[in-house]
A and B are shown apart, each in its own frame.
Chain A
Amino acid sequence: MSVLKVRNLSKNFGGINAVTDVSLDIEAGEIIGLIGPNGAGKTTFFNLLTGIYTPSSGEIAYNLNHKVTTKDLKPHKITHYGISRTFQNIRLFQNMSVMDNVLIGFHNGLKYGVASALFRLPSYFKSEKDTYEEASQLLDRFNLLDKKDELAKNLPYGDQRRLEIARALAAKPKLLLLDEPAAGMNPKETKELTELIHWIREAFELTIILIEHDMSLVMNICERIFVFDYGNLVANGTPNEIQQNEKVIKAYLGEEAAKC
């Protein structure tokens, strides 16, 4: 079952064609890799998927919690439909605690209105208690429960990356977008990340798309890979196919493949 259908998606910013005529399909449960040189349009593509940018042309159709085709939905609405993400330059809520960061993600558990909050009606207490418990469980699975009262900005780098993923999962998405989750990690941490990604795919029943430059991670974990270059989708296939694709090797994989 396809969870994401993209047709002829394009985005230009005044003269710069960031993304040009991209079409692709993603099936439920896949782990997809998005690779390409810097500036190839990968993050822009994520931003289009999450509604931060509006497409200049083309269509995105999601089949997640709801079936929805959207061109002009605001990002928070799209999140409610079952898509969640992390960011290239970690965007945690720095001065809020670990617990608070995750609690924000639980908007789906929002069962009380402003009036209930102001006047501390019973629904406030029940909902807060339930959400707190769910958040604690989630943090526990990510080994962050003992740090729940720490400010996010005081966490070590690796913990911050994991917290961002945990926060994204609080929204109970069906499609998770990870933007360079391994950036700045050493080989040991990258290996742990690989295991983490496999685990969350199973445990949370996710489809995952990840943007990465770390080729060992990508080749190891992704079942299919899409290659972007100058805003165009220039190749797609299994890791083996991509490794042998001439266009890709020429554009970018060359040095990386040699390094591995």
Chain B
Amino acid sequence: MKQLLQQLINGLSLGSIYALIALGYTMVYGIINLINFAHGEIYMVGAYVGFALTTFFDLGFFPSLIASMLVCSLLGMLIEKIAYKPIRNSTRIAALITAISVSLFLQYTMVYFVKPDTRTFPEVLTNKKLSFFNGSILLDVKNIYIVLITVILMVALQYIVHKTKIGKAMRAVSIDKEAAQLMGINADQVISFTFAIGSALAGAAGVLVGVYYNTINPLMGVAPGLKAFVAAVLGGIGIIPGAVFGGFFLGMTETMVSAYGGSIFKDAVAFGILILVLLIKPNGLLGKATREKV
């Protein structure tokens, strides 16, 4: 029973990370119909920036988190301007291949410069464990931090998307770009902004992971990137609550499979879910069916 509770908490943390990354995928797809393969790498850069700030500049946790989010949002906007804008009118295959190339570029440039060894994050968060029920359950404070920060970020995102002008513009552009432009919305700006927010969230996830697991390496974005993408598809790609739902669902499922099934299969879980979703309900659990007009 206590194992179960422990696993639930782990699942929640993992789910938070996936959800944060998945949000970036879903928002970008919703607005320009592109699977941003490089998104996992932004998460990785976030972790490294956090690492650099805490290790070399002795910054505390929260300042590093904010700074990393800022750097990542700038990186995201840069990538969009340089790599994705030129191919905005190309076919889907061309866009996908371009995204893959950006992803590979970031991964291996990082490997080239910082070497593929893992680095260790310094202990920036207190390594405290709270005990419940007379010591039978140990709750790592870091878990609380992760979930709490994730929730705060998501509330902030909800606020931006639904209660600000730019949020409304984002929603408009994702429904119909041309119509939005006709209404006076600067689609380019809105797209940049979307990338900025999505990347900031991924950056935050990177720092959180670095702090929680203490190790980072240049290829750390590949697996979580793919899995977060699965989460976004699971919930319904392009739908923001879908990404959150998908992220937590995947995190929970993966943790449970790992704990009770066998950790060798936990990576296969994500892909298994992906295939199932694509075959049964390709528009995701929260998505609506779309139809090609003939």
Q: Mark A8-47, 1 if CB is under 8 A from B, else 0.
A: 0000011000000000000000000000000000010001
Distance between Cα atoms of A87 and B294 in the complex (Å): 8
Which residue of the partner chain A has the closest CB to B289? A14
Cβ contact within 8 Å between A47 and B294 = yes
Query: Does A52 touch B at the CB level, under 8 Å?
Result: yes
Distance between Cα atoms of A14 and B291 in the complex (Å): 11
* Chain B residues, Cβ within 8 Å of A13: 291
Cβ distance B280 to chain A, nearest Cβ, rounded Å: 18
Distance between Cα atoms of A43 and B293 in the complex (Å): 10
Cβ contact within 8 Å between B294 and A43 = yes
Q: Mark B283-294, 1 if CB is under 8 A from A, else 0.
A: 000000101001
* Chain B residues, Cβ within 8 Å of A47: 294
* Chain B residues, Cβ within 8 Å of A87: 294
Distance between Cα atoms of A24 and B291 in the complex (Å): 27
Q: Mark B257-294, 1 if CB is under 8 A from A, else 0.
A: 00000000000000000000000000000000101001
* Chain B residues, Cβ within 8 Å of A52: 294
* Chain A residues, Cβ within 8 Å of B294: 43, 47, 52, 87
**What is the size, in residues, of chain A's interface with B at 8 Å between Cβ atoms?**
6
Cβ distance B93 to chain A, nearest Cβ, rounded Å: 14
Distance between Cα atoms of A13 and B289 in the complex (Å): 10
* Chain A residues, Cβ within 8 Å of B289: 14
Which residue of the partner chain B has the closest CB to A50? B294
Distance between Cα atoms of A47 and B291 in the complex (Å): 13
Which residue of the partner chain B has the closest CB to A44? B294
Q: Mark A35-79, 1 if CB is under 8 A from B, else 0.
A: 000000001000100001000000000000000000000000000
Q: Mark A71-93, 1 if CB is under 8 A from B, else 0.
A: 00000000000000001000000
Which residue of the partner chain A has the closest CB to B288? A14
Which residue of the partner chain A has the closest CB to B293? A43
Distance between Cα atoms of A87 and B293 in the complex (Å): 11
Which residue of the partner chain A has the closest CB to B291? A13
Distance between Cα atoms of A43 and B294 in the complex (Å): 8
Cβ distance B123 to chain A, nearest Cβ, rounded Å: 54
Cβ distance A135 to chain B, nearest Cβ, rounded Å: 26
* Chain B residues, Cβ within 8 Å of A14: 289
Restricting to B161-180, which residues have a CB under 8 Å from any CB of A?
none
Which residue of the partner chain A has the closest CB to B292? A52
* Chain A residues, Cβ within 8 Å of B291: 13
Distance between Cα atoms of A107 and B291 in the complex (Å): 28
Cβ distance A39 to chain B, nearest Cβ, rounded Å: 11
Distance between Cα atoms of A14 and B294 in the complex (Å): 17
Distance between Cα atoms of A47 and B293 in the complex (Å): 10
Restricting to B247-262, which residues have a CB under 8 Å from any CB of A?
none
Q: Mark B62-87, 1 if CB is under 8 A from A, else 0.
A: 00000000000000000000000000
Distance between Cα atoms of A117 and B294 in the complex (Å): 32
Cβ distance B21 to chain A, nearest Cβ, rounded Å: 32
Distance between Cα atoms of A87 and B291 in the complex (Å): 17
Distance between Cα atoms of A199 and B289 in the complex (Å): 43
Distance between Cα atoms of A259 and B289 in the complex (Å): 41
Cβ distance B200 to chain A, nearest Cβ, rounded Å: 37
Distance between Cα atoms of A185 and B25 in the complex (Å): 44
Distance between Cα atoms of A149 and B194 in the complex (Å): 46
Distance between Cα atoms of A183 and B288 in the complex (Å): 33
A-B contact pairs, 6 of them (CB 8 A): A13-B291, A14-B289, A43-B294, A47-B294, A52-B294, A87-B294
B residues at A contact (CB < 8 Å): 289, 291, 294
A residues at B contact (CB < 8 Å): 13-14, 43, 47, 52, 87
Would you list the 6 A-B pairs with minimal beta carbon distance, nearest first? A47-B294, A52-B294, A43-B294, A13-B291, A87-B294, A14-B289
